[in-house]
Chains A and B, each alone.
Chain A
Amino acid sequence: MTITAGAFTFVSDLLQQHAAIVLSPGKEYLVESRLMPLARQIGLDDVGALVARLQSRPDDALRRQIVEAMTTNETSFFRDRDPFNAFSQAILPDLCKERSATHRLNVWSAACSSGQEPYSIAMSIVDHPLMTPDWQVEVLATDLNEEMLERARQARYSQLEVNRGLPVAMLVRHFERAETDWRVVPAVRGIVRFKQLNLAEAFDIPQMDVIFLRNVLIYFRPSTKVEVLKRVRRILRPDGYLFLGGAETTLGLDDAFERVMVGSTTAYRHKGARPMQMPSRLSAAVAGAGLSALPRPGSTLGPTPGSAVRGVASASHPPPPVGWPFQASTNNSISSQGRR
């Protein structure tokens, strides 16, 4: 379903007037996806009805809500950051060791929306020094909404979207320009597989090492949450990891999970799972945010999976030395790569 041209123009003008944001033609899906929850929340059937209501009478509160819904990005790259740090710095090293015989890794991004989460996971994997090219990795990205999946498959993001949560070093490493947008490079896209899936119904997917099921359970009734968690538990490998949203838990819903702290974030595991090998301290910065692997101007952009050891950057200062990051990459030492 797509909103009418008139409704799109109305929202577009509203954004330009009140948030100085230009919404280019072709972004109807963005208006739909951002405004549908608001329409539902106030008891309207669709975005067209929401726009019609504002057009029919001045309503400052509603206008503000619409602008906020359009400018507040509910999903962004590396959203909440901590789960991704835990994934890169603790879970991937742990699983790389445990899966050294098979060199296979399966990660599931449930409710992947417009794709930022699975691509963030994929970027973390591609950047990880232990993930050499002989690993068979798949990030399964599912969503109920086929339109959202199609958008995610396109892997194309606006300037506003790549400004959110994505370290610029990762932007230049893992994206290429596509007119005024940015598109995820094939090396990252290639490990993500999209599939339509309704979490509230029985599903058949492979066993998973890590599951990102974040900010989904909050939309379900308690009885559905129990069912979803039971199904998720069945496909989570015995020593796998489950991430939920910050406001979600398995407590009181599924006692076969136990809560573990990974750095400053929480993950869930099967009760009695083998202990993980945890690094003594996790960096607060997004792993791979370090600029040491930046391409030189004029060089071919895009990563080679597992081809470069990338230091985990620290968010602390001081700023880089003159000539950095290329000076650091010449030295090729972890400590110099890690400076920022």
Chain B
Amino acid sequence: MVIDDSSAMRLILGRIMRSLGFDVVEAPNGAEAIARLQSGAMPEIALVDWNMPVMDGLAFVNAVRREEKWRQITLMMVTTESEQSQIVRALAAGAHEYVIKPFTPDAIADKLALLGVLAY
């Protein structure tokens, strides 16, 4: 699941994930992503932007981590937020990994491999 308010970024990340063999669903903010999860979507991994309208990425991570049924979802922030304190906040909330924009497709693949959702 690619969650980003920028349609261009969703397109780029969607392309990268498809090229790595994933099926991709998209959401333009955290609230819509939660709605998709509530309607039964169960992604293996969610790539989550931080700054989005309606519900931001950190709120999304907190919301997902509150629900036992969504514990299997791996959460990776993909964001321009690059302050150390922000990274620590996201990890403390339950994000597994963190990619700071800008990134290369290899960086996404590397991180997915680190998380064990993609073979090296």
Interface residue ranges, A against B (CB under 8 Å): 19-22, 71-73, 76, 81-82, 159-160, 162-165, 167-169, 171-172, 176-177, 284-286, 289, 291, 294-298, 301, 314-326, 340
Contact = CB atoms under 8 A, between A and B. Distances in A.
Which among B12, B88, B98, B113 has the highest number of chain A CB atoms within 10 Å? B88
A159 B99 CA distance: 9
A220 to B, nearest CB: 27
A295 B88 CA distance: 8
Contact of B85 (A82, A171, A284, A297): A297
A320 B94 contact: yes
Given A21-B104, A22-B102, A318-B72, A159 B91 contact: no
A168 B78 CA distance: 12
A319 B73 contact: yes
A128 B91 CA distance: 21
A320 B75 CA distance: 10
Given A167-B114, A168-B91, A172-B88, A73 B96 contact: no
Contacts of A289: 114
A50 B107 CA distance: 27
A163 B116 contact: no
Contacts of B84: 172, 176-177, 301
Nearest to B62: A322
A168 B115 CA distance: 11
Given A160-B103, A315-B115, A317-B74, 15 more contacts: A22-B102, A73-B104, A163-B100, A163-B111, A164-B106, A165-B114, A291-B91, A296-B88, A296-B92, A297-B85, A297-B88, A301-B84, A319-B71, A323-B92, A325-B91
22 contacts: A71-B104, A72-B106, A73-B104, A82-B120, A159-B82, A159-B101, A160-B102, A160-B107, A164-B104, A164-B106, A164-B107, A168-B97, A169-B91, A171-B98, A298-B85, A315-B115, A316-B116, A317-B74, A319-B71, A319-B75, A320-B94, A325-B91
